[in-house]
Structure 1
Amino acid sequence: MAVGIDTKFVFQLDWNLLRTFLVIAEEQSITLAAHRLLRGQPSVSLALKRLETELGCRLVDRGHGTFRLTAAGRRLYSECSDMFSGVSRLPEAVREEVNEISGEIRILLASHVVTPLLDDQLKELSREHPKIRFNIRIDTSARVIQAVRERNASFGICLVNRRFPDVEHDLLYREFFGFYCGPSHPLFGKDKLKMSDLRDYTTVSFDTEDINDALRPVALLRSKWGLDFDVVGRSSQLEEVRRMIECGLGIGSLPVHVMERDVASGRLWRLPPYEDPPEVDIFLVTNPAKRLNRAEDLMICRLKQIIEETPLSERTYKTAP
């Protein structure tokens, strides 16, 4: 018998409790977990309480509108993710059709990731291997990296403010940020503006527009021209920053290549700087310690091959105003 294995615990534990906990942790909500599991909320709450009793520790802190995994809960979530990921690979491991690739690819993205490098691979893999399943979620860059470090995602694509030694960071593409305003703004439709013309107006921003965070180049430009004194709206999501700009709350920065259609349709107006806008690098973040299924391994290998074989100049998106 292997040393350190509590066989009584292993055989007596209801493994459905672990599955329920995994869904609770992923949804960050008892209610949403119950909906996903097609069970009643009291049943899910009871399952969580039973698991905490079995383990002799608290896994989730709840109350007053908050939901947070404890340190024990985060460790258990990481272990459960690995365990159920391994279980999900069992059909693939015993499949006779060895050339057929299947499995789920769990991708975490920062909200403004827009690149044909990713889109083309989604199309090609879906066409070549129709049994591959994709799970794509949007989160802040910090949480994307955290999920990759904890092996809860196949890979992430996001901004990188701090590099961790346990994950790999490959520069996927470079984008540029410009300032924009909406149709109701006094500067909408005006040409040949200068940065000084933007000073007297309110602004909106991403949460990461800070000199110590991922959008440092944008934050430095804001600070230089005094555009950081009257911030009336913030969000971590591109769609919400764009919404506030379009609604006229203030001037805000957005990725230039992503906003082409909105400018062409008259929903947004490009403001200075017209030359040398702030550049931001977007990275493919992977964890060498994560056990990958064949689908995950294939997609990551293809993305890294593209990075290696394609000059950065061809992975740089800069659009003229």
Structure 2
Amino acid sequence: MNWNLLRTFVVLAESPSITVAAERLRLKQPTVSVALKNLEDRLGQRLIDRSPGRFELTEAGRLLYREAVNINGSILRLATLMREVTPQISGHVRIAVASHVVCPPFDEVIADFYAAHPQASLSIDVITSTDVVAAVTAKRASFGIALVRAQDPALDYVPMYREAFGLFCGPRHPLFGRSDLTLDDLQGHSAVVFDTDRLQDALQDVTLLRARAALAPEVKGVSENLEEVRRMIMAGLGIGPLPKHVVARDLRDGLLWQVPPFEDLPEVDVFLISNPATARNRAEDKLLAALMEKLAATPFKERTYG
């Protein structure tokens, strides 16, 4: 099997069209089309349905993608592992995180690790929780931190911290600054939401919180990024949910105002996610181990915020 064909197929499977895949691979479109045809001919299977208006993986294509993405991740890491044959720990760690992860033990571990191993390097990719899981699965990330809807048995999950969500409005909102509010006062006001704020998703309990407040069904603002949800709430687009410990300073500075309910607020767990099939360099291994040890030594109630 020609590995270049498999690598091309992985990019095709993650693209909406051959044209986009060719751009990502920095190749011409006919070259990518020929590569796909050669792979299909070699396997004797149609891998992508390319009928008019469609560009979707076939059943055989989905099977091949699941296997190829793991092979791809392993091969891409070979050069990194070979560079690690040195006395010093100098590898690179890539962490994929959901937006605005606030967890003091995490910060302490990073600070201690890079003080002890200054030759190591770090990158943190802020992406959606779904993409965090995908990056860890595909071995593109050393490990990840994200909200989780359903756990993949092929990955390892450790509860990292728990955060409580409240409802907030900004200075331009008519309810801002009122200390006499009840749930009835929220009824019919417009809402700002997270993209995953819906039933059967990671923030389903937050969806139920909005339902308790009887906010208007029409959503005025939506984002997958916490900072942008916060921005829209501050701008007065509507009332929206945010983790209480994340916005504590905004409350003190008068940039946000918490509205009812104040009790029985939804709590959401944020997980440390790792892939046991990933061949990690020494920096990745040691940082992940240090983080696991820190979490094990810190009672969960001390990692429950808000």
TM-score when scaled to structure 1?
0.76
AA paired with 1:314?
E
CA contact (8 A) 1:179 1:252 kept: yes
After superposition, residues 306-317 of structure 1 pair within 5 angstroms as 306-317=294-305
Quote the Cα distance in structure 2 between the aligned partners of 1:63 and 1:123: 53
Note if 1:83 corresponds to 2:54: no
> Which of 260, 263, 272 in structure 2 is aligned with 1:272?
260
Quote the Cα distance in structure 1 between the aligned partners of 2:126 and 2:150: 21
Quote the Cα distance in structure 2 between the aligned partners of 1:47 and 1:248: 51
The aligned counterpart of 2:142 is: 154
Quote the Cα distance in structure 1 between the aligned partners of 2:119 and 2:24: 24
Identity %: 46
The aligned counterpart of 1:3 is: none
Root-mean-square deviation (CA, aligned residues, Å) is 3.5
The aligned counterpart of 1:130 is: 119
3-state SS of paired residue (2:178): coil
3-state SS of paired residue (1:227): coil
CA contact (8 A) 1:109 1:156 kept: yes
3-state SS of paired residue (2:214): coil
Note if 1:139 corresponds to 2:128: yes
Deviation at 1:201, TM superposition (A): 0.8
CA contact (8 A) 2:48 2:56 kept: yes
> Which of 224, 243, 247 in structure 2 is aligned with 1:259?
247
The aligned counterpart of 1:6 is: none
Note if 1:287 corresponds to 2:275: yes
CA contact (8 A) 1:222 1:228 kept: no
Post-superposition Cα deviations, 1:26-50, rounded to whole Å, max 9, x if no partner, equal: 5666566555544455544554454
Quote the Cα distance in structure 2 between the aligned partners of 1:91 and 1:290: 12
AA paired with 2:91?
S
Quote the Cα distance in structure 2 between the aligned partners of 1:76 and 1:144: 21
CA contact (8 A) 1:92 1:103 kept: no
CA contact (8 A) 1:125 1:132 kept: no
Quote the Cα distance in structure 1 between the aligned partners of 2:185 and 2:50: 48
Deviation at 1:67, TM superposition (A): 6.2
Q: CA distance change for structure 1 residues 36 and 204 in 2, over 3 Å: closer, same or farther?
A: same
Quote the Cα distance in structure 1 between the aligned partners of 2:179 and 2:54: 47
CA contact (8 A) 2:80 2:91 kept: no
Deviation at 1:176, TM superposition (A): 1.4
Quote the Cα distance in structure 1 between the aligned partners of 2:247 and 2:132: 23
Post-superposition Cα deviations, 1:241-296, rounded to whole Å, max 9, x if no partner, equal: 33432333321101122223444555433223345532211111223344433333
TM-score when scaled to structure 2?
0.79
Quote the Cα distance in structure 1 between the aligned partners of 2:277 and 2:221: 39
Deviation at 1:301, TM superposition (A): 1.4
AA paired with 2:128?
D
Q: CA distance change for structure 1 residues 270 and 94 in 2, over 3 Å: closer, same or farther?
A: closer
Note if 1:182 corresponds to 2:161: no
The aligned counterpart of 1:92 is: 81
For structure 1, which runs of at least 5 residues remain unmatched after alignment?
1-9
Deviation at 1:171, TM superposition (A): 1.1
After superposition, residues 292-311 of structure 1 pair within 5 angstroms as 292-311=280-299
Quote the Cα distance in structure 1 between the aligned partners of 2:126 and 2:15: 12
The aligned counterpart of 2:219 is: 231
CA contact (8 A) 2:99 2:126 kept: no
Q: CA distance change for structure 1 residues 66 and 294 in 2, over 3 Å: closer, same or farther?
A: farther
After superposition, residues 106-117 of structure 1 pair within 5 angstroms as 107-117=95-105
Deviation at 1:305, TM superposition (A): 1.0
Q: CA distance change for structure 1 residues 77 and 164 in 2, over 3 Å: closer, same or farther?
A: closer
3-state SS of paired residue (2:232): helix
> Which of 218, 226, 229 in structure 2 is aligned with 1:241?
229
For structure 2, which runs of at least 5 residues remain unmatched after alignment?
none
